[in-house]
Chain A
C-alpha cells in the first residue's frame, strides 16, 4: 500500500491549486482548455481516461477553492451516464463535453421522491418519437445547460433521454441554492422528442453506479473544503488578539481545532478507502461509497460550523469566506443521497 501521490498526481494537484487560486476567468471554458472536462472521458472516446483518484484530487482542490460545485454533475456524472448508456451518439456527445461545446446536466431526481432513481417521469411513444411528461428537481447548472440527461419510464423500463432545456413543452425554473450556486427544476408537459432523443436503456443500478464516482468527487470536494476551513481557522486564531494574547495561545481553542483535525482525518481515510474500492467488485464499491458519504457528511456541518464558531462574529458574515464552507456542506450533503439514504444503502448491501 502506498499513499504517496505519483509525480503526475502531484503535478495535477499543484497545477489545479495554482489555477484555482489565481485571479481571472475560471469558467467552464477554461476548464475545457485545462483538459479537466476530458479527464473522466475514456481514451477510446478521445478523453484522458483519468482514474477516479485523479478525479478526486481535482475535486478536492475545487472544494478548497470554493470553485463552482457542478463539476461532479457536468464533468463526472454526465460523462459516466453518456459513456455507459448512449449508443450511436456517445462519441459525439463526449467530444462536445470535452471541448466545452456542450454542457450536459443530469436530471435524475424528482419532486417529493427524495433520492429514488426509478422515475415517475414518463416517455410515451408518439409519432415515431416520444412525448415526455413529469418533473425533475435540483438540476445543477440547470440554467447554463444545453442538454438535460433525463431518466424516464419507457416501455416498463427506464430510458435516458437527451432533452433540450429550451425546447417546446419544457418549463424551467432556476433558483439559487443556499451556497449561491444555481439550480433549476424542470417540468415536462408532453415535451416532444425525436427518436434520437433516446440515448439508451438504463436501470436504477446503472444510474447508481454512474453516480458513485460523482459521489466520491462530492466527498473529496467537501474534504478539501473542510481542510481549508481548518487552516483558515488556525491562521485566524494566531492573528486575533484578545485578553492580551493571540487566541491561539488558549488551550481550549487548540483542542477544539485538534478535534476538528481528528474528524477531518477520518473523512480523509474514508475517501482513500472508497477510492481503493473502485478496483474491486460492485457491491464492495457501492458499500464503500455509501460508507464514505456517511462519514463525510456525518461530520461536515459540525466541522464547518466549528470553523465559523472559532472565528467569532466575523465568521458569521457573508463576506468572510470561512462560512461558505458551511453553506457548501449544506448543499453537498443532499446532492446524490444524504446521510440517512446512504446509511440505508450501506445496510442493504451488507453481506
Chain B
C-alpha cells in the first residue's frame, strides 16, 4: 500500500492492457459498489425508499438493492422517517449492532430535525443527536432521485476514505468509537437528550 499511482503512467499502462491500482482503490471500489442497506423504514419517507428500490428508480444500478433485514449484515442505515422518542433507543441499538464500516443516511426533514412534526412532544429533533450521519437529504419526502443522489454522495465519500496514514477512515482507527450509548427513557425526555460527542450543530454567525 504505497502512495498514489501516477496518472500518466497509469493511462499509459492501461493502453497496453495493464490495469494498475492500489489496494485502497480496489478495496474502496468493492465497498462502494455493494452497499447493503438495512431494511428499515420508519414513516412516509420509507415508502419513497421502497420506491427507490423498486422498478422505476432501481437502486440496483448503484449496487444498493440488497436490503437486509438484519443489522448484522447491513452497511448502511437509511433513517427514513420520523424518529420518535420511543423509537430512538432502538435506532441507536440497531446502529450499534451494525458491523463496521457503517454509514448513515438521514432521509427527510424528520430524520434531520424533526421536520413538520418538530413541535411534537414525542418527536426527536434529529437522529444526529445520537449517531453520526454521513449524508443528509432534505425534503418531505425526498424524491427517489434525491435518495439516489445521496447514495452517490456516499459512494464518493467511501471512495475518498484512506486506509492508512493520519487521516485514515474512522472505522480503521481503534480509538474511534463504533458504538454509541443508547439513550434511556427519563422522566420527561430521553436521557441524555443528546450525545455531545456526536452532535455538532453548526453555529450560525450573523
Bound together: no
